[in-house]
Amino acid sequence: MTGSARSYGRPRNHGCRISDSWTFDGLRTIVLENTLLRVVVLVDKGSDIVEFRYKPHDLDFLHLAPGGIRNPARDVVPAAGDSPYLDYFSGGWNEILPNGGPSVTYQGADLGQHGEISLLPWSYAILEDNPDQVAVRLWVRAIRTPFFVEKTLSMVPGTAALFIDERVLNEGGEPLDFMWGHHIAFGRPFLDEGVVIDAPARTIESQGEWPNYGPRRFKPASTGQWPNIASPAGPAEDAGIVPPFGAMPAQEMAYLSGLEDGWYAITNPTRRVGFGIRFDPSVFRYIWYWQQMGNVASGFPWWRRLHTQALEPWSSYPSDGLAEAIRNGTALRLGAEEELRTSLCAVAYEGNPGITGIDPDGTIARD
């Protein structure tokens, strides 16, 4: 990363800070931080959050893909077809709208995998820059659909939390269907010793058979009472426990539903540190559970170089694209000039698993 630390407020080395004086591989980059947390946002690549670092442990929770971060505007892949999202997947936290899953044609618009805002450059404006609060507003207009997406990221002192206020606006003159998700992928070293997932879900459902997708940890197309679900061999598997790196090579896709509240927490009990997120369960009604364990996935796009656990708040399911979400009634829908607003809070914390709730201000509740 290159650049010089520049602030819109008075230069300082204390309290909350924000700087847009950075680029990464030509991508405009914003850094927000306080004494506990450092968050790095790639403005020119879908507003991806590529670092969520808890300073007391110098620990970034997020997955960093083996290919690193690449600039979609700089690296042109000929005949990329349906793979641009995968070509430029660098891990981290991606925002996805209006399609979740493989490419689909919606009312004449061809939408690629996880299209279409996750690879676009966003606009931004720094709203607050003082020791007591920093905030940046980011926004984007999709290209093939008339969606306008806007969000404000903010931090305050004394808490390892990032606050996000969002809205989606249909600027078209007719109703539109869409899927909306936050693809949050966790990686090493956070996952090295294994982690525990706490979530207020009632049900877990595994994806059906996918070609060349295995070995599976859960029996395909099975349903269980969270966190228990059948394994391919029959006995129940505890999906709330993610084994240490190398202990159980497997690929898995599943969906948590029946959320009694809107949050989840993922904790490393050896390091006694974790990440949690609070969200609105009336908007994000499912948690997608994507697991790639022990560098087992061969061939494109992973080449046996992927170990990650993603937990993704989503409006809809499964990850089969917008057409399936419309068919099964889980797609969201906005009328002409209608908007949807929501808020999230992501927080780093210390302690053991056994989280029972996360408040909108980032406060963690335990047994």
Q: What is the mean pLDDT of each run of 10 residues along the chain (367 residues)?
A: 47 89 93 97 97 98 92 66 79 96 93 91 96 97 97 97 98 98 97 97 96 93 97 93 93 97 98 98 98 92 94 97 97 98 98 96 93
Tell me which residue of 350, 33, 57 sits closest to 162, measured CA to CA.
33
pLDDT of 1 reads 39
What's the CA angle centered on 45, arms 41 and 50, to 5 degrees? 35
pLDDT of 6 reads 46
pLDDT of 2 reads 40
Name residue 12's amino acid.
Answer: R
pLDDT of 14 reads 86
For the chain, domain boundaries:
2-366
Contact 46, 92 (CB under 8 A): no
- What tokens appear for 189 in the block? 């070293």
pLDDT of 7 reads 47
At residue 151, the 3 state secondary structure works out as strand
Q: Which of the listed CATH numbers 3.30.479.30, 2.70.98.10, 3.40.190.10, 3.30.70.100 matches domain 2-366?
A: 2.70.98.10
Helix ranges (H only) for 177-235 are none
pLDDT of 162 reads 98
Tell me which residue of 155, 153, 162 sits closest to 16, measured CA to CA.
155
